[in-house]
Copies of this chain bind each other. A is one copy, B any other.
Amino acid sequence: MMSSCKSFSNLEDILDKYIPEQELREVKRILFGKPTSCLEIPVEAVKLAEINFEVKTCKFEAKKEECRQPRLVRVGLIQNAIALPTTKPVEEQRVALHNKIKKIAEAAASLEVNILCLQEAWMMPFAFCTRERLPWNEFAESALHGPTTKFIQELCKALNMVIISPILERDDVTEVIWNTVVVIDETGAVLGKHRKNHIPRVGDFNESTYYAEGNTGHPVFQTRYGKIGVNICYGRHHPLNWLMFGINGAEIVFNPSATVGDLSEPLWGIEARNAAIANCYFTCAINRVGTEEFPNEFTSGDGKPAHKEFGEFYGSSYVAAPDGSRSSSLSRNKEGLLVAELDLNLCRQVKDVWCFQMTQRLPLYAESLTKAVDINYKPQIINKCNQ
């Protein structure tokens, strides 16, 4: 079905390979905006080469200001495949993922990453295609006390890093399941959590069978390294979700995702990047890689026969800046770590150039939306009869 995914691993590689230098510069300017440079990889990071995953770096610079120092922060994005077959015991699968991420997080530390973000529901296979409750619900854990939070707390302390850990959460009191990110700071303290605001009902993404729309609003976490928000997966299709994180002051919004297929891939490079532009913050889009096979067959509501494989997750994680520029993507089919150095001063600098926040007329839209959600709303339609 997704054979196309195998044919090449990275769009930018193809452009680089075939297009002559002068024209390539123009193509990239139009497609990807202002050129970015790479970070130097320090000597102690040569051990990276021993681990089998791709490492890419990128640097987004801002203009020098008289009254503010540069506010440099290094973010790390990890995209990975599951570590064991989905038929293994739940705890074994989870521990194997913990171990895999530990190695990549250590590589991130050697690249001086300050804030690391993992992919959506990183501690499990993305089993929601099956609509089976067991054993998948057994992966759900407490945001405060669960084994994954405990593991990440240790990692944060050891590596002096903020880590954004997207998990399947089971509420401590009600036992309700949620799709949640836990934000843990560099001291190992749980700064807070956020529950996915928009839940898909598309193709194999039967997530609404498992959990409902989040009830945590649009929190922005004030970390030592900057103000961050997290727009989980399908929320990237919703401009209002991105907007509210901006209104609450986010400078970086992470978008940990799990997505496959021809349907979403042409949208992937558009949405997080549009959000960075419209809201004048950095966005970090992360998608898993690999194909996950489940023990029992399931159907996809597409008229095709029952099958056991989810389509191939196409990776392609990237970072977009408020000025419309963006990093290169990680591979479509390899595990990887993308490290980007951001100068957060760029957010305000771009706000001052484009003035989108000044000109956005929020009071008009607060009023328009309030009218629009009234059950008696009459859309503003002009035809020959009502002129």
Which residues does chain B contribute within 8 Å of A369, judged by CB atoms? 247, 362, 365-366, 369
Q: Which residue of B lies closest to A271 (CB)?
A: B274
Which of these, B14, B15, B34, B270, contacts A324 with CB under 8 Å?
A: B270
Q: Do A266 and B381 contact each other (CB < 8 Å), given the known contacts A213-B361, A239-B243, A372-B366?
A: no
Which residues does chain B contribute within 8 Å of A237, judged by CB atoms? 277-278, 354, 356
Q: Which residue of B lies closest to A326 (CB)?
A: B266
**Residue pair B14, A198 in contact (C-beta under 8 Å):** no
**Residue pair A248, B381 in contact (C-beta under 8 Å):** yes
Q: CA separation between A191 and B358, bound complex, in Å?
A: 32
Which residues does chain B contribute within 8 Å of A242, judged by CB atoms? 239
**Residue pair B199, A359 in contact (C-beta under 8 Å):** yes
Contact indicator per residue, chain A 1-33, by CB within 8 Å of chain B (1) or not (0): 000100110010011001110110011011111
A217 within 8 A of B: yes
Which residues does chain B contribute within 8 Å of A240, judged by CB atoms? 239-240, 243, 360-362, 365
Q: CA separation between A262 and B325, bound complex, in Å?
A: 11
Q: Which residue of B lies closest to A358 (CB)?
A: B201
A288 within 8 A of B: no
Contact indicator per residue, chain A 339-372, by CB within 8 Å of chain B (1) or not (0): 0000000000000011110111111111011101
Q: Count how many chain A residues have C-beta atoms less than 8 Å from C-beta atoms of the other chain.
A: 90
A233 to chain B, nearest CB (A): 12
A269 within 8 A of B: yes
A383 within 8 A of B: yes
**Residue pair A29, B220 in contact (C-beta under 8 Å):** no
**Residue pair A200, B355 in contact (C-beta under 8 Å):** yes
A267 within 8 A of B: yes
Which residues does chain B contribute within 8 Å of A11, judged by CB atoms? 26-27, 30-31
Chain A contacts with B in 247-301, Cβ cutoff 8 A: 247-249, 262-263, 265-271, 273-274, 277-278
A89 within 8 A of B: no
Which residues does chain B contribute within 8 Å of A266, judged by CB atoms? 29-34, 324-325
A150 to chain B, nearest CB (A): 18
A305 within 8 A of B: no
**Residue pair A379, B249 in contact (C-beta under 8 Å):** yes
Which of these, B189, B213, B366, B379, contacts A220 with CB under 8 Å?
A: B379
A202 within 8 A of B: yes
Q: Do A29 and B265 contact each other (CB < 8 Å), given the known contacts A7-B23, A219-B382?
A: yes
20 example contacts (A-B, Cβ-Cβ < 8 A) are as follows: A4-B29, A7-B22, A14-B27, A30-B266, A192-B387, A197-B361, A198-B361, A201-B358, A201-B359, A218-B368, A219-B381, A220-B379, A221-B382, A238-B278, A244-B372, A247-B368, A263-B353, A267-B324, A270-B273, A366-B372
* Top 8 A-B pairs, shortest CB-CB distance: A33-B266, A239-B239, A222-B383, A274-B274, A366-B369, A248-B379, A192-B382, A240-B365
